[in-house]
Amino acid sequence: MIKKIIIGLFCLSFTSVAQAVLKIDITEGFEGALPIAVIPFQWNGAAKVANGDISAIVMSDLARSGKFSPVAEKDLIARPQKLADVHYKTWRIAGMDHIVIGSVTRQADGNYQVEFRLIDILKAKQVLGYSFSATDKTLRGVAHQISDYIFTHITGLPGAFSTRIAYVTLKRDKTSYSARLQVSDTDGYNPQTLLTSDQPIMSPAWSPDGSELAYVSFESGQAEIFTHNILTGVRKSRSKFAGLNGSPAWSPDGKKLVMTLSKDGNPDIYVLNLSDNKLKRITDHWSIDTEAAWLPDGKSIVYTSSRSGKPQLYRQSVSANAKPERLTYEGGYNASASVSADGKSVAYVHGEGNIYRIAVLELATKSSRILTDGPLDESPVYAPNNSMILFASQEKNQAVLAAVSVDGRQKQRLSFTDGEVREPSWAPVRH
């Protein structure tokens, strides 16, 4: 067997080759979204940069969050460029709560000065205003930061637009197989390849500081867990026991990885201490125990176990001799938990008959609700601000990523231009 792998160095530049760009289509909107008008920014001393159209990026981010309904550019009733140009009464009559104005000015050194102002129409004043310095390469990043400021100011939630997502893409047919581990902005732009392999790549998981990914690669002819620094490209083999090496997830303090190993006979859950490579066994059962996710306190995990005969979710402390507590009872297949950042809820795959959908379980009440339609939805992961859940879905025989708001009312599809895309992982909010 010939194995080809290419390890990529992640460089923070969107001039690098962007072969396959994610395209996001909003498939279902909802009526409670807040009206906002983002006026096209004025460009001074330079033509608009194609990949850095700040106001268009902000508009797209806000729409994607499900919490805003930005006015289409062609429907704008006015295009004020300065605060003094804003006619509050006109906007009030138009039913607008907020408007965003701004400018991009080319400096003598070739860089850009980006300014934006968020205006509250009811209060009739500016409520937020910032100025940034940017280069050709950082314009998109600045736009996502502006989206975060606006989102946070209005909703009170941390913004997650300037974080990143990781996912696995696959191109295959009867004779060839090419898997890639990719990282992109949360809107799918700027995709960069961290690893290319002719063997499967699975289960990417971000470190809590967003600098590293843990994942499973079969490149050596067996399952092996690696950690990979996305900035330096340096990676380390963390687990290569006989049998399974799967489902890695970083502890909230970044010091440990929980994982599934079968070296002692059956798939069980272990915690690896990264500083001294000490392994601690958490479960010991003849059935399948896997897909562990940490609760934010770092003291317990939620995992999938088939100890009742069918896969169900359990919660268990990672301390010695802890007893598992069964969390799910409805339906014959409940697996692949993702815990929200506040630790209050768990997104998971709920299978009933041949239909697999994303559901959310409230840990306090043990009540659950189904958010998606299936039929083959999997790999749910919370956005770091808990506002939505990203998941993998099957649509018209095409593997796509999709997002659903936690109330289930807003759905979006992130379609990929080329090949299959799966197993999303959303980087934490930058601190």
Report in angstroms how near the CB of residue 304 gets to other proteins at its nearest: 6
Helices (H), 135-194: 139-155
CB of 49 to other proteins, least distance (A): 39
Nearest distance in Å: CB 179, other proteins: 8
CB distance 346 to 381 below 8 Å? no
Which position among 66, 159, 246, 424 is part of the footprint of other proteins (CB under 8 A)?
A: 246
CB 83 within 8 A of CB 128: no
Q: In sequence order, which residues have a C-beta less than 8 Å from that of residue 174 and are 6 or more positions away?
A: none
DSSP state of 198: S
Residue 356 interacting with other proteins (CB under 8 A): yes
Select from 14, 88, 3, 78 the least CA-distant residue to 52.
14
Instruction: Give which of 105, 104, 148 is closest to 128, Cα–Cα.
Output: 148
* Cβ contacts of 431 within 8 Å, gap of 6 or more: none
Q: What is the footprint of other proteins within residues 367-386 (CB under 8 A)?
A: 376, 378-379
Q: How far is CA 203 from the centre of its chain?
A: 13
Min separation Cβ 379 and other proteins, Å: 7
Q: Does 351 bind other proteins (CB under 8 A)?
A: yes
145 forms part of the interface with other proteins (CB under 8 A): no
Among 37, 288, 359, 427, binds other proteins (CB under 8 A): 288
User: Nearer Cβ to other proteins, position 148 or 423?
Assistant: 423
What CA–CA distance (Å, rounded) separates 195 from 176?
A: 17
Touching other proteins, residues 59-98 (CB under 8 A): none
Output the CA torsion sign for 354, 356, 360, 366: positive
Contact track, other proteins, 195-234, x by CB under 8 A: -----x-xx--------------x--xxx-----------
Q: Using the rule CB under 8 A, give the single segment among 136-144, 188-196, 271-279, 348-356 that binds other proteins.
A: 348-356
Q: Give residues with Cβ within 8 angstroms of 126, minimum separation 6.
A: 83, 117, 118, 119, 120
Nearer to other proteins, 187 or 423 (CB): 423
Residue 331 interacting with other proteins (CB under 8 A)? no
List the one residue from 155, 178, 394, 415 that touches other proteins (CB under 8 A). Answer: 394
- At 292, the amino acid letter reads A
For 39, other C-beta atoms within 10 Å of its C-beta total 22
**Residue 260 found at the interface with other proteins (CB under 8 A):** yes
Can you tell me which of 310, 326, 344, 409 binds other proteins, judged by CB under 8 A? 310
Closest CA to 337 of 249, 220, 215: 249
User: Taking CB under 8 A as the rule, does residue 344 contact other proteins?
Assistant: no
Cβ proximity to other proteins: between 189 and 348 the closer is 348
User: Which residues are within 8 A (CB) of 154 and not within 5 positions of it... i.e. 6 or more apart?
Assistant: 34, 67, 68, 98, 118
Using the minimum distance from each CB to other proteins, give the nearer residue, 200 or 233.
Answer: 200
Q: Which burial class, exposed, middle or buried, applies to 430 when counting CB atoms under 10 A from its CB (0-12, 13-18, 19+)?
A: middle
Among 304, 338, 385, 387, binds other proteins (CB under 8 A): 304
For 361: left if phi > 0, alpha if psi spans -120 to 50, otherwise beta; the answer is beta
Identity of the residue, 134 or 258, whose beta carbon is nearer to other proteins in the bound complex: 258
Q: Shortest distance, CB of residue 375 to other proteins, whole angstroms?
A: 8
CB of 215 to other proteins, least distance (A): 12
Name the CA radius of gyration of the chain, rounded: 23
| Contact residue for other proteins among 139, 244, 258, 358 (CB under 8 A) | 244
Q: Which of 119, 349 has the CB closer to other proteins?
A: 349
User: If binding is defined by CB under 8 A, does position 400 make contact with other proteins?
Assistant: no
361 binding other proteins? (CB under 8 A): no
CB of 291 to other proteins, least distance (A): 5
Q: How far is the CB of 351 from other proteins (least distance, A)?
A: 6
Smallest gap, in angstroms, from Cβ of residue 191 to other proteins? Answer: 21
Q: CB 194: neighbour CB atoms within 10 A?
A: 23
Q: Indicate if the alpha-carbon torsion angle 160, 161, 164, 167 is positive or negative.
A: positive
Q: Return residues touching other proteins (CB under 8 A).
A: 177, 200, 202-203, 218, 221-223, 243-244, 246-247, 260, 262, 266-267, 286-288, 290-291, 304, 306, 309-311, 333, 335-336, 349, 351, 354, 356, 376, 378-379, 394, 397, 422-423
